């Protein structure tokens, strides 16, 4: 049976597995297709596309962009874009610069709270150029300040916490427009996690191409709601585990997936 996990992260964003290791794991799990949706970066793909072809796994170009609506975070998945799109590469560069500025502020806040952290220390946590709050959480774990990523967010990094900073995110509308300019499909990521109904209502008015119906083993009743919405809007259907490796062990690769028809529709 064809199964494709269209939402996972490599060590080039906030996962722990290399892109090639993700390809190997997908095959071990019996998957036929995969998309690596790293946050705001395409760095996984130069090697992963070649390796996936060698191993016989269908690898669909993907990405997950951070965005915002009226100050609230909304994530946008992009699929089947032109891997050489200058528009998408420029957006990735913008996010690197945005994240760096935000990280500096967060590290300064942690230092003022009595937990000194430097940017050089942060850069030593991961190989990725797209450093963010999960990497700051790992730094806090390395220093023995917290025992888990969850504790780091609960105490310091989560929205409204002492070291939180919202930064200056790009809008959902701009993100969709740039993905379309790059010949990609724009998909509303994990809508199950959006708590504010005003945000949901607004998202349903935007020119998305699809919605992530199946996500991280969520209850079927929640998936059915979004499946119905997708059909009403004639949107593409996607799904995936949001696998991050050892930093989020509860999400196993392949725990959520789409069939071949949904996979092929993204390529159309």
Residue 126 has pLDDT above 80, yes or no: no
How far apart CA 185 and CA 76 sit, in angstroms, is 10
Same domain as 114, residue 71: no
Average pLDDT over residues 200-210: 97
Same domain as 150, residue 244: no
Same domain as 250, residue 219: yes
Same domain as 234, residue 173: yes
Same domain as 202, residue 83: yes
Same domain as 113, residue 46: no
Same domain as 74, residue 13: yes
Residue 105 has pLDDT above 90, yes or no: yes
Query: Integer distance in angstroms from the first to the last C-alpha of the chain?
Result: 21
H/E segment holding residue 139:
helix 133-142
Contacts of 125 (CB under 8 A, 6+ apart): 131, 135, 138, 139, 142
Q: Is the pTM of this model over 0.75?
A: yes
Give the model's confidence band at 121: pLDDT under 50 very low, under 70 low, under 90 confident, else very high.
very high
Same domain as 176, residue 102: no
For 206-231, b/e burial (b = at least 16 CB within 10 A) is eebbbbbbbbbebeeeebeebbebbe
């Amino acid at each position: 049976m064809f199964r494709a996990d269209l939402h996972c992260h490599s060590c080039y964003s906030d996962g722990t597995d290399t892109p090639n290791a993700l390809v190997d794991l997908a095959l071990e799990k019996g998957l036929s297709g995969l998309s690596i949706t790293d946050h705001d970066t395409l760095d996984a793909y130069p090697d992963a596309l070649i390796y996936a072809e060698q191993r016989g796994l269908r690898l669909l170009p993907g990405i997950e962009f951070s965005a915002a609506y009226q100050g609230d975070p909304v994530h946008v998945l992009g699929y089947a874009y032109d891997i050489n799109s200058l528009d998408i590469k420029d957006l990735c560069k913008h996010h690197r610069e945005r994240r760096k500025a935000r990280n500096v502020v967060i590290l300064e806040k942690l230092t003022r709270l009595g937990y000194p952290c430097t940017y050089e220390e942060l850069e030593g946590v991961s190989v990725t150029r797209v450093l963010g709050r999960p990497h700051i959480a790992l730094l806090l774990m390395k220093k023995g300040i917290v025992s888990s990523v969850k504790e780091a967010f609960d105490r310091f990094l989560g929205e409204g916490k002492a070291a939180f900073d919202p930064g200056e995110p790009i809008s959902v509308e701009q993100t969709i427009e740039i993905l379309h300019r790059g010949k990609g499909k724009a998909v509303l990521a994990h809508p199950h996690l959006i708590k504010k109904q005003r945000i949901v209502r607004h998202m349903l008015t935007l020119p998305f191409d699809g919605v992530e119906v199946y996500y991280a083993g969520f209850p079927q009743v929640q998936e059915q709601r979004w499946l119905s919405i997708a059909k009403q809007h004639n949107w593409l259907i996607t799904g995936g585990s949001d696998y991050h490796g050892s930093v989020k062990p509860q999400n196993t690769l392949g725990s959520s997936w789409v069939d071949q028809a949904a996979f092929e529709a993204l390529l159309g």
